[in-house]
C-alpha cells in the first residue's frame, strides 16, 4: 500500500538491554508500511524507569521534539503501549499525532477485512481497544470544569462515550453470533461426515495463502503483505493414499498480537483444533524465522492445539542460496519439508508428508461389487476415501481396491453386503 504519510518510529527498549533488536525494528517498520505509513527515521530509546508523564525521559522528549522540527513528520509511532494520558502529553509536547504499534495493527485489520464476519470482528477488536484506552481520560477531561462534589463535563463525556461503545459491542456481538451459526453448522457437518481437515497456520506473510493456491489450484488472495488473509478459507485437496481432505487457511500470527484482536478472532483460530494435521508455514528466508516458529508454537499452545500432528513447511527456499541448518527443537520435534509455494517446488514431498501423517486414519480394502453398485460406493467414499484401482471380473462383478477411513470400514462392508 502506497502512502505519503511519513513518520518517526520511537523504538523503546526495556531491560535487559540488548543490541540485537534490529529485526524487531524491521518488523515494526513493516507493520507501519502495511498500514500505509512510511517510517523515515528510527529513534532507539532505552527506558529503564518509565516516566509517569511521558513514559520517555524529558531529555528524550526534547530530543525528539527537535527531530520533529527538523524533519516535519506526519506522526510518531511508538512500539510499546503507553497510557492515554502519556500519549496525549506526548502529542502536546511534539505537536503531531502519536500512535502505538497495537493501534497500527488494528488499522491493518480494518483495511484487510472483506467479509461481513471479518468486518464485524475487526470492529469489535477496535472498539474493545478503544474502551480500554478510555480509562484515565475522564480525570484529564474533567479538569475543564465541575465544582466540589460534582462530576466534571469530561467525566460525563467519558461515561457517555463508554456507554455508546458498550452498546455497539453488544449489537455487533449479537450479529457475529448470528453469522457464525452458519459456519458452526458447516463445521458440525464436516465432523458428522468424518471429513479429514488440514489447517494451514503460520506467522503473517509466511506464504500460507500462496501454499493453498499451489496445492489446490485455487485463487485465494495472496499478497506480499501482513495479514493478507483474515477470514478462514477452505478448499478441497486430493492427497494420494488418503483421498480428499479439506484444506483450511487461517489468519496469520504475530508477536505481541493485541489481546483485542486475539479475542475477536479466537473462534477463527480455534478452528485449528478441529484439524487432523497442521501445516505450519515458516518463511525460512526471513532472518528471524526461528522466533516466528516460537511465536506460532506459543499461540498453538494458547488455543490448545499444541499436541496435534504437525508438519513444518519451510517456505521460500527459492530466495536462498542454500538450505539452512534448522534449530534442534525444529528438526527433531516434527516432520519438515522444504518448499517454494510460489515456484511449486517440493509440493510432492509435502503431499507425501501429509499422507504419512494421516495414514493411521485410513485402511486399504478389497471389494467385489456389482456394476450397478459402483455409483453408490463412489458416493459413500466421498471425503471418506477413494477407489484406487478398478478391474472388471469374469463373473460380471467389479473388483475394487479402495482407501477408506477406518471408522467407515464397517459401514462400507455393510453397504456392499446388503445389496
pLDDT digits (tens, 9 = 90+) for 87-144: 999 999 999 999 999 999 999 888 887 778 888 988 999 999 998 887 655 445 444 4
310/202 same-domain check? yes
Residue 258 has pLDDT above 90, yes or no: no
pLDDT of residue 144: 46
Query: What ranges in 194-312 are assigned the alpha helix state H?
Result: 208-216, 259-264, 266-269, 289-302
pLDDT of residue 132: 85
In a domain? residue 190: no
Query: Of 109 and 147, which is predicted with more confidence?
Result: 109
pLDDT of residue 411: 79
pLDDT of residue 152: 53
CATH classification of the domain holding 93: 3.40.50.11060
Report how many domains make up the chain.
Answer: 4
In a domain? residue 108: no
CATH classification of the domain holding 297: 3.40.50.300
pLDDT of residue 143: 45
Query: What span, in angstroms and rounded, lies between the C-alpha atoms of 334 and 315?
Result: 15
Confidence category of residue 153, pLDDT binned at 50, 70, 90? low
Listed residue (244, 231, 245) closest to 274, CA to CA: 245
Last residue of a domain, one of 358, 373, 392: 358
211/351 same-domain check? yes
Q: What is the mean pLDDT of residues 266-271?
A: 76
354/335 same-domain check? yes
pLDDT of residue 146: 47
168/201 same-domain check? no
304/271 same-domain check? yes
Query: What span, in angstroms and rounded, lies between the C-alpha atoms of 113 and 103?
Result: 16
Last residue of a domain, one of 176, 205, 223: 176
Specify which residues 238 forms β-bridges with.
244
Q: What is the mean pLDDT of residues 171-179?
A: 89
pLDDT of residue 145: 47
Residue 196 C-alpha cell reads as: 479429514
In a domain? residue 182: no
In a domain? residue 45: yes
284/349 same-domain check? yes
Query: What span, in angstroms and rounded, lies between the C-alpha atoms of 4 and 212?
Result: 33
86/131 same-domain check? no
Contacts of 410 (CB under 8 A, 6+ apart): none
In a domain? residue 188: no
38/154 same-domain check? no
Query: What span, in angstroms and rounded, lies between the C-alpha atoms of 314 and 189?
Result: 32
Q: Is residue 47 a contact partner of residue 56, using CB atoms and an 8 Å limit?
A: yes
329/207 same-domain check? yes
Last residue of a domain, one of 71, 103, 135: 103
Q: What separation in angstroms does the CA of 395 have from each of 368, 371, 399?
A: 10, 11, 10
Residue 207, φ and ψ in degrees, nearest 5: 105, 25
Q: What is the mean pLDDT of residues 397-411?
A: 91
In a domain? residue 217: yes
Query: What span, in angstroms and rounded, lies between the C-alpha atoms of 8 and 365?
Result: 65
279/390 same-domain check? no
In a domain? residue 26: yes
- Mind listing the pLDDT tens digit for each residue in 277-321? 999 999 999 999 999 999 999 999 988 999 999 999 999 999 999
Listed residue (295, 407, 314, 413) closest to 360, CA to CA: 407
Q: Is residue 345 a contact partner of residue 317, using CB atoms and an 8 Å limit?
A: yes
Query: Of 328 and 349, which is predicted with more confidence?
Result: 349
240/325 same-domain check? yes
Residue 129 is part of which domain span?
A: 113-176
Listed residue (419, 58, 45) closest to 398, CA to CA: 419
In a domain? residue 189: no
CA torsion, ordered 237, 280, 229, 131, to nearest 10 deg: 140
Query: What span, in angstroms and rounded, lies between the C-alpha atoms of 159 and 169?
Result: 15
Greatest Cα-to-Cα distance within the chain, rounded to the nearest angstrom: 102
305/385 same-domain check? no
Amino acid at each position: 500500500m502506497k502512502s505519503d504519510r511519513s513518520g518517526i518510529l520511537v523504538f523503546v527498549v526495556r531491560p535487559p538491554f540488548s543490541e540485537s533488536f534490529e529485526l524487531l525494528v524491521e518488523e515494526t517498520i513493516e507493520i507501519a508500511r502495511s498500514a500505509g505509513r512510511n517510517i523515515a527515521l528510527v529513534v532507539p530509546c532505552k527506558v529503564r524507569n518509565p516516566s509517569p508523564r511521558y513514559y520517555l525521559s524529558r531529555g528524550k522528549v526534547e530530543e525528539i521534539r527537535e527531530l520533529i522540527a527538523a524533519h516535519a513528520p506526519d506522526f510518531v509511532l511508538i512500539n510499546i503501549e503507553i497510557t492515554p494520558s502519556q500519549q496525549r502529553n506526548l502529542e502536546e509536547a511534539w505537536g503531531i499525532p502519536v500512535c502505538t504499534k497495537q493501534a497500527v495493527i488494528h488499522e491493518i485489520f480494518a483495511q484487510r477485512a472483506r467479509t461481513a464476519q471479518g468486518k464485524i470482528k475487526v470492529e469489535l477488536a477496535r472498539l474493545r481497544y478503544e474502551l480500554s484506552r478510555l480509562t484515565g481520560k475522564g480525570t484529564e477531561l474533567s479538569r475543564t470544569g465541575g465544582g466540589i462534589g460534582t462530576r466534571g463535563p469530561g467525566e460525563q463525556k467519558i461515561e457517555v462515550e463508554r456507554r455508546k461503545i458498550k452498546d455497539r459491542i453488544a449489537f455487533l456481538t449479537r450479529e457475529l453470533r448470528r453469522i457464525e451459526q452458519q459456519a458452526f453448522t458447516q463445521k458440525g457437518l464436516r465432523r458428522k461426515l468424518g471429513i479429514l481437515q488440514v489447517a494451514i497456520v503460520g506467522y503473517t506473510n509466511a506464504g500460507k495463502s500462496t501454499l493453498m493456491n499451489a496445492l489446490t489450484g485455487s485463487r485465494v488472495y495472496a499478497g506480499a503483505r501482513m495479514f493478507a488473509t483474515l477470514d478462514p478459507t477452505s478448499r478441497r485437496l486430493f492427497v494420494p493414499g488418503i483421498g480428499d481432505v479439506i484444506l483450511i487457511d487461517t489468519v496469520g500470527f504475530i508477536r505481541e498480537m493485541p489481546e483485542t484482536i486475539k479475542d475477536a478472532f479466537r473462534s477463527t483460530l480455534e478452528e485449528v483444533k478441529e484439524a487432523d494435521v497442521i501445516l505450519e508455514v515458516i518463511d525460512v528466508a526471513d532472518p528471524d524465522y526461528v522466533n516466528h516458529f516460537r511465536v506460532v508454537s506459543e499461540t498453538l499452545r494458547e488455543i490448545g492445539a499444541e499436541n496435534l500432528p504437525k508438519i513444518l513447511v519451510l517456505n521460500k527456499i527459492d530466495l536462498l542460496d542454500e538450505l539452512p541448518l534448522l534449530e534442534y527443537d525444529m528438526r527433531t520435534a516434527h516432520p519438515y519439508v522444504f518448499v517454494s509455494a510460489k515456484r511449486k517446488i517440493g509440493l510432492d514431498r509435502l503431499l507425501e508428508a501429509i499422507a504419512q501423517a494421516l495414514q493411521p486414519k485410513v485402511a486399504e480394502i478389497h471389494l467385489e461389487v456389482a456394476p450397478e453398485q459402483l455409483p453408490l460406493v463412489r458416493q459413500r467414499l466421498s471425503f471418506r476415501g477413494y477407489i484406487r484401482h478398478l478391474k472388471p471380473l469374469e463373473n460380471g462383478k467389479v473388483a475394487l481396491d479402495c482407501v477408506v477411513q477406518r471408522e467407515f470400514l464397517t459401514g462400507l462392508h455393510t453397504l456392499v453386503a446388503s445389496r
